[in-house]
Amino acid sequence: MAEDGVSVILPVFNDRPALERAIPESVAALAAITDAFEVIVAEDGSTDGSAEFVRAWHEKDPRVRLLHADERLGRGRALNRAIEAARYEVVCYYDVDLATDLAHLPELVGAIRSGADIATGSRLMPDSDIVRSGGREVASRGYNFLVRTILGSRLHDHQCGFKAFRRETILALVPEVQAPHWFWDTEVLVRGQRKGYVVREFPVVWRQGPGTTVRFKDVFSMGSQILGLWWQIHVAKN
């Protein structure tokens, strides 16, 4: 059984500048919530010195851990691996650019501690406060509409990179999650709802980061994966 505490995962691929802000701010935010925590940097085959930077942090603060991959796993596989390596009962992850305000971290962790299996920030609820380009806004709303329509989700926003899980629950789900990259978030939320997990969604303050790596082909791929997941759920298992 996992220890009582909080594990935060930062998925990283060539994000050295973002780490310089994300690590100290994460440590400070976690220290205000709990005495038992760790920051796992899931570093996915970076070539920009990210791994060396995290190793240096670990030397002065062992609560900061490096989980290095020699070759690119993809964001989804890197998250699966990091969740399995997490030590504590509450497992969170958020994007290293800190697009979601860390002021929401107590609410994220508190949702799991108060009984939710999965908690997720939402950029698309009425009280959400977001700033991003118009094109991305339209694409996001269209994508999430398709997820609700085709996959039967009850949530507003599936791709916000600000989520938490009860470790025991997510470990049972991870073997079923096949998405290697950006679709991981959606697949976890859809499969979790289908299993009857308690999912808490709440509005967040979110600002588009300057170094986003989501490209048009990623959006197109995720649209294709919506149909692929529908097939897995409704046809392939029958």
Supply the residues annotated as catalytic. 185
**Per-residue tokens: 88:** 């504590």
Q: Do β-strands 118-122 and 162-166 pair in parallel, antiparallel, or remain unpaired?
A: antiparallel
Q: Which H or E run includes 94?
A: strand 88-94
Helical ranges in the chain per DSSP H: 16-31, 50-60, 75-85, 105-113, 134-151, 167-173, 184-194, 216-231
Check: CB of residue 161 under 8 Å from CB of residue 185: yes
Which bin fits 196, alpha (ψ -120 to 50), beta or left (φ > 0)?
left
- Maximum pairwise Cα distance, the chain: 53
How much of the chain is helix, strand and coil, in % rounded to 5?
45, 20, 30
Give the C-alpha distances (Å, rounded to integers) separating 121 from 62, 130, 161, 163: 28, 12, 8, 6
